[in-house]
Amino acid sequence: MSTAREIMSSGIQTLNEDQSLAEAAVLMRDLGVGALPVRSADGALTGIITDRDIVVQACAEERDLASTLAGDLAQGIVSTIGPDEPVETIVDLMGTQQVKRMPVVENGSVVGIISESDLARHVAEDQINHFVTMVYGRD
């Protein structure tokens, strides 16, 4: 049985909630990612910000990307998982919560993230079908 540690993307860069959306966009571009976990000043995970959040919310609302903070737009974390969590549990949790990314936290630090693409590469087809049905409402 596979675990989060075996399928997660590791070496995850985080963003401080007091960093601007412009900084978030540059970091996403430079890292080639579409989402970043957001941390508070004390290091606690407070949310995730996506490239879609920046475009659909900030740009569409004509917010100033240099002065709008990541913490103002970050989506709150519904839950996290530990690195030894079984894949079956992860698929169920992500599906139930209808999330496309799940932070992996160990000893209070983000050590990885599991995304849809991680699931697609490492999870059996029946589990992917289950995930898609739960998140998107269709097979």
Tens of pLDDT along 25-75?
999 999 999 999 999 999 889 999 999 999 998 888 889 999 999 999 888
The model scores a pTM over 0.75: yes
CATH of the domain at 127: 3.10.580.10
Give residue 138's pLDDT. Answer: 58
Answer whether 95's CB lies under 8 Å from 126's CB: no
> pLDDT-derived band of residue 126, with 50, 70 and 90 as boundaries?
confident
Quick one: 20 exposed, middle or buried, by C-beta within 10 A (0-12, 13-18, 19+)?
middle
Residues 6+ apart with CB under 8 A from 60: none
Picking from 115, 84, 116, 109, the residue whose alpha carbon sits closest to that of residue 13 is: 109
Give residue 108's pLDDT. Answer: 86
What is the domain range of residue 95? 4-136
**Range in 2-6, 21-25, 84-88, 127-131 the model is least confident about:** 127-131
Domain tally, the chain? 1
pLDDT exceeds cutoff 70 at 15 = yes
Answer whether 111's CB lies under 8 Å from 58's CB: no
